[in-house]
Structure 1
Amino acid sequence: MAKPFLILQLRPESEAADDEYAAILNKGGLSDGQALRIRLDQTELPDDLQLDQFSGVIVGGGPGCVSDAPDKKTEIETRIEQSVLSLMPEITNRDFPFLGCCYGIGILGKHLNGDVSKEAYSEPVGTSDCMITADGASDPLLNGAPENFQAFVGHKEALQSLPEGCTHLVSSPTCPFQMVRHGQNVYATQFHPEADGEGFRTRIRIYKNHGYFPPETAEELIAMCEAADVHAPELILRNFVSRYS
């Protein structure tokens, strides 16, 4: 592979960020040398960063919400959001390979002036019953995935409608817009394609006091996630890497 993938991380909690990075590498079939990792809570994007240096961009999840009022965001959350959004005009204008995971669908929606809010479609930590749409059935990133599959979720905000220029790829009864594509190469998922039961156990313990669920239910949620049959979403990450390497 001539060019690495740019992996942008948004989690200020080091244990969660490290676990997510390892999962993206593992599920994507990448080695550490095939990725450039930037933790946006710790560092700014380099002034000389050029998209042409990379095969594609992968954005991980995080505890922030793009729909929160500016005065409700921490300084770190504001800086992270602005850093990712600064790349989106070039990414969408060029139709540059991009995969936003969870927080990334909010970033794409906000950039496209879509309706991202907490009005409806939030999902508690756990699994969501996902269904591939007619358009999704022919999308290369969903190649090999079953028509119906479970995916790990946990989010307070969501797309309320499909942004202009986007194709609807995956839905669920609790959150209609689980995966979308803008143009031909810009993707975002509401679920976590990199996550497995072990990874969600780590996140549940780290974020149990962040308002995603009653803290006293943490161990029950961990048991449920570890017992869940979640395998299909990782195909999306691997297909993304394979397609754009």
Structure 2
Amino acid sequence: MMGRAVKPFLILQLRPETEASDDEYSAILRKGGLAADQTRRIRLDRDTLPDIDLLDYAGTIVGGGPGYVSDAPHDKTTTDARAEAACLSLMPQITAADLPFMGCCYGIGILAHHLGATVSKERYGEAVSAATCTVTPDGKRDPLLDGFPDQFDAFVGHKEAVQNLPADATHLLSGDVCPFQMIRYKSNVYATQFHPEADGAGFATRIRIYKDKGYFPPDEAAALTDMVKAADVTYAADILRNFVTRYR
């Protein structure tokens, strides 16, 4: 008897800088325990989202990016607006059918906005840092966080954030500055405010690439690089691996 075909994971990326995009993709493969031929990678910064059937995929993973869901339409670049529209076009099917989804950083804004929650720069932005995440009571019962300690660190760096928990969503991880570090909708739709794929070397690369993008004063880049290289964000990466393992 022939085995059942293994579905690939759909990887959607939004970073226009090729070095940053390639590094993020490599990190998703490495931390998720995936080979390139087990994924379909689409760079939404340069490619139009093709007509796809999400049922052909084991799950969808959305990476981070420079765009802001909360920006007014006239403040979005053409590239960011197209990428945002592409991601949002998939959310009705994902949430209605409860299809496996992991939104990383930018992805939590996409999910929350789709679900009717407020996403803005009013509160909860975080400087580039290793933020402490605290597992909520509901988080302790979630399979992606099984066996986790009560607290662990994860890399963050964002100006906008989810301002209120979306209706019918479950709050899994909280933070001191940003309360909504990880949420789940229904049973299989997840999003994190932090970057579960990022390790110290990868975040150091992003610090170098984005040092003039307003995330932090450029003269702090060296100190931030030292900080992220010394941080322990092992458990954050386990979330991505657990997601892939669960839905592979």
Into which bin does the TM-score normalised by the smaller protein fall?
over 0.9
In the superposition, the TM-score normalised over structure 2's length comes to 0.97
The 5 Å alignment of 1:86-97 reads 86-97=89-100
CA–CA distance in structure 2, aligned partners of residues 230 and 172 of structure 1: 15
Give a deviation string over 1:153-182, Cα, whole Å, max 9, x none.
Answer: 000000111011100000011100000000
Note the C-alpha offset of 1:125. 0.5
Residue 16 of structure 2 corresponds to residue 12 of structure 1: yes
Task: Give the secondary structure class of the aligned counterpart of 1:180.
Answer: strand
Return the letter of the residue paired with 1:215: P
Could you tell me which residue of structure 2 aligns to residue 114 of structure 1?
117
Residue 180 of structure 2 corresponds to residue 177 of structure 1: yes
The 5 Å alignment of 1:228-239 reads 228-239=231-242
Note the C-alpha offset of 1:144. 2.7
Task: Give the secondary structure class of the aligned counterpart of 2:234.
Answer: coil
Return the letter of the residue paired with 1:157: E
Could you tell me which residue of structure 2 aligns to residue 153 of structure 1?
156
Task: Give the secondary structure class of the aligned counterpart of 2:71.
Answer: coil
Note the C-alpha offset of 1:211. 0.8
Note the C-alpha offset of 1:3. 0.3
CA–CA distance in structure 2, aligned partners of residues 20 and 146 of structure 1: 26
1:101 to 94, 100, 104: 104
Moved segments of 4+, more than 4 Å: none
CA–CA distance in structure 2, aligned partners of residues 101 and 145 of structure 1: 19
Note the C-alpha offset of 1:138. 0.7
Gaps of 5+ in 2: none
Could you tell me which residue of structure 2 aligns to residue 33 of structure 1?
37
Task: Give the secondary structure class of the aligned counterpart of 1:232.
Answer: helix
Task: Give the secondary structure class of the aligned counterpart of 2:214.
Answer: coil
CA–CA distance in structure 2, aligned partners of residues 144 and 205 of structure 1: 34
Note the C-alpha offset of 1:52. 1.0
Moved more, 136-145 or 101-110: 136-145
Return the letter of the residue paired with 1:45: L
Residue 76 of structure 2 corresponds to residue 73 of structure 1: yes
In the superposition, the TM-score normalised over structure 1's length comes to 0.98
CA–CA distance in structure 2, aligned partners of residues 130 and 110 of structure 1: 22
RMSD over aligned CA atoms reads: 0.7
Identity %: 63
Gaps of 5+ in 1: none
Return the letter of the residue paired with 1:86: S
Could you tell me which residue of structure 2 aligns to residue 134 of structure 1?
137
The 5 Å alignment of 1:23-62 reads 23-47=27-51, 49-62=52-65
Give a deviation string over 1:104-148, Cα, whole Å, max 9, x none.
Answer: 000001111111000000000111011000000010011232110
CA–CA distance in structure 2, aligned partners of residues 123 and 134 of structure 1: 24
Contact kept? 1:144, 1:235, Cα under 8 Å? no
CA–CA distance in structure 2, aligned partners of residues 122 and 86 of structure 1: 26
CA–CA distance in structure 2, aligned partners of residues 142 and 150 of structure 1: 14
Residue 7 of structure 2 corresponds to residue 3 of structure 1: yes
Could you tell me which residue of structure 2 aligns to residue 208 of structure 1?
211
Could you tell me which residue of structure 2 aligns to residue 189 of structure 1?
192
Return the letter of the residue paired with 1:22: S
Task: Give the secondary structure class of the aligned counterpart of 2:173.
Answer: strand
